[in-house]
Structure 1
Amino acid sequence: METFQRLKQIAEANREGFTVSLLDYSTPKKGYCVAMQLTQDSFGDEGLRKVIEIAEQSTFTVGGWYDYQSNQYYYDCVMIVQDLEEALQLGRANHQLAIFDITKARTIEL
């Protein structure tokens, strides 16, 4: 199954959000998830294709979540960072509103 279809299935099964490696479709167990500004506002099929293309050339990690207000699924190419301070700096540098603590499953607003 191609990457696009696999990620669509993962997204449908995880509307509250997901983060997976494109290498083996595993979910990181620890660290901080920081979205790249380059893929900000990537939604729907077109957005997912863009995110996959960028992820395949950089982090090999994709995240997504369903926005119930707009009825759209948002996708991001993400960086997994182990150090909180580094993650906070990268989040601000990428103009993010928040980062996600994978270990504690919580959002950290910036």
Structure 2
Amino acid sequence: MEEQELAIQEDNPDLFFECDERMHALYCSLAGRDGVWGFISDAKKHMGRVRRLSAQAGQLDQLVRDHQDVLDAVTASNMDRAQEVMQRKHPISHAVSARADEDQSVYGD
């Protein structure tokens, strides 16, 4: 997230989203759900325009705060809070979670 904050300071949305991709991949890996990343990556392709528009609207700071909220909840072992933040701020996470639970053979390791 520090790299994301640096990208914001440098007004570099390309760097921000590159860091964002790495962070999400890391979260999936740490959760033991490496296989989920492929599903998320495919879904995020369709959201690319929306993500770029949020960068133009100056909402990158809020994205970093949301990511920090998730990290804080996970660090505190408060999975309910982490899930709440992800579902509220990253609506696609609910669909990914449901799909992963439905088919552990595809997304589980």
- TM-score between the two structures when normalised by the length of structure 2: 0.34
Where is the helix percentage greater, Structure 1 or Structure 2? Answer: 2
Where is the strand percentage greater, Structure 1 or Structure 2? Answer: 1
Larger CA Rg, structure 1 vs 2:
2
